């Protein structure tokens, strides 16, 4: 589990224990056993100082539940990373009751590697390319390329048509904030921190009406950025239960009608080899069979 340390305690351990007092005893045992690590793989001890912007890594206990095993479709693999197609409805990382039902835990089981971690996140409702790191000592190099925004991402989205977006890209710029404990992110006045380019690839009609398949390129990585910006264009995503208004069953995934957002491709310069890597998802929008090939 990754925790960003955002306060100013004396040590990293004291921060975690203050933030999660109910788990303090368990966490103390993990620290004592040497199972808590920093970004560079160093063992975190009770005297490890708090460093602003640093992170600590540890594995949350996995409850003994009846969750069905998940097999991840591998898109790319080398000695450092594995890229998989995260299914719609699967959390990227263990969260709340979704521990076994997460890509990280599924990857650790499938690849028999307890060090596997997610290098970025996709919303539970979003499917597509997810990058996993094999070893803790390599995480920092790959995290840096995300922090420096040197990773190019392309998404496919299905939404209605309203004439505001066509084949020419439309850029949406705003300030997006999300408060912990609130369901939705929001656009606030102030300096721009979220930029998204959107263009229409093709339109189609089915029994539910007229729709568009959009190519979406986020230039930044704010929480729910694509969902917020598509909604601001008057184009909420098909199957989205959270935007523009949360539905009563917003937290219940419908496998027969997933939210129509796919992390379609990812391109980056490999930090270990310097080579250009492009990874494409094999998922397609389930509501638009015309692009299934």
Query: Treating both helix axes as pointing N-terminal to C-terminal, what angle do 12-19 and 24-32 enclose, rounded to 10 degrees?
Result: 150
Residues 38-85: pLDDT tens digits?
877 788 888 888 887 777 777 666 554 556 678 999 999 999 999 999
Q: What is the CA angle 248-250-251, rounded to 5? A: 120
* Strand-strand pairing, 55-57 and 2-4: antiparallel
**CA gap 202, 205 in Å, rounded:** 10
Out of 23-27, 114-118, 216-220, 260-264, pick the least confident.
23-27
Give the pLDDT band (50/70/90) at residue 20: confident
pLDDT in the model for residue 61: 63
> Is 123 designated active site?
yes
Cis peptide before 33 (omega within 30 of 0): no
pLDDT in the model for residue 162: 94
Give the pLDDT band (50/70/90) at residue 185: very high
pLDDT in the model for residue 69: 77
> What is the C-alpha end-to-end distance of the chain, expressed in Å?
37
Q: Of 265 and 21, which is predicted with more confidence?
A: 265
pLDDT of 175 higher than 90: yes
* Strand-strand pairing, 261-269 and 127-133: parallel
**Could you tell me the pTM of the whole model?**
0.76
pLDDT in the model for residue 62: 57
Residues with Cβ within 8 Å of residue 291, at least 6 apart in sequence: 156, 202, 213, 284, 285
22, 123, 188, 249: which is the annotated catalytic residue?
Answer: 123
Q: Which range, 7-16, 49-58, 83-92, has the best average confidence (pLDDT)?
A: 83-92
Give the pLDDT band (50/70/90) at residue 94: confident
In which region does residue 258 sit, left (phi positive, over 0), alpha (psi from -120 to 50) or beta (all else)?
A: beta
Q: Of 126 and 289, which is predicted with more confidence?
A: 126
């Amino acid at each position: 589990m990754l925790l960003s340390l955002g306060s100013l305690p004396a040590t990293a351990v004291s921060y975690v224990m203050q933030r999660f007092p109910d788990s303090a005893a368990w966490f103390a045992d993990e620290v004592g056993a040497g199972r808590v690590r920093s970004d560079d793989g160093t063992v975190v001890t009770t005297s490890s100082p708090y460093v602003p912007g640093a992170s600590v890594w540890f594995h949350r206990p996995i409850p003994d539940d009846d969750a069905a095993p998940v097999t991840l479709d591998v898109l790319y693999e080398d000695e450092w990373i594995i890229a998989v197609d995260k299914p719609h409805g699967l959390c990227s990382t263990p969260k709340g009751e979704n521990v076994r039902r997460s890509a990280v835990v599924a990857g650790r089981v499938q690849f028999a590697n307890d060090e596997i971690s997610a290098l970025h996140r996709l919303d539970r409702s979003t499917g597509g390319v997810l990058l996993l790191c094999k070893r803790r000592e390599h995480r920092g190099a790959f995290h840096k390329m995300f922090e420096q925004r040197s990773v190019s991402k392309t998404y496919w989205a299905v939404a209605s048509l309203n004439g505001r977006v066509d084949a020419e890209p439309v850029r949406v710029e705003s300030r997006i904030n999300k408060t912990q404990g609130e369901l939705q992110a929001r656009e606030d006045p102030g300096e721009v921190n979220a930029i998204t380019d959107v263009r229409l690839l093709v339109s189609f009609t089915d029994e539910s009406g007229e729709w568009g398949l959009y190519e979406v390129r986020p230039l930044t990585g704010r929480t729910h950025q694509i969902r917020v910006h598509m909604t601001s264009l008057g184009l909420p995503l098909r199957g989205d239960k959270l935007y523009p208004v949360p539905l009563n069953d917003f937290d219940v995934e419908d496998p027969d009608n997933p939210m129509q957002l796919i992390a379609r491709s990812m391109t980056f310069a490999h930090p270990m080899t310097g080579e250009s890597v492009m990874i494409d998802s094999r998922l397609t929008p389930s509501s638009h069979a015309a692009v299934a090939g």
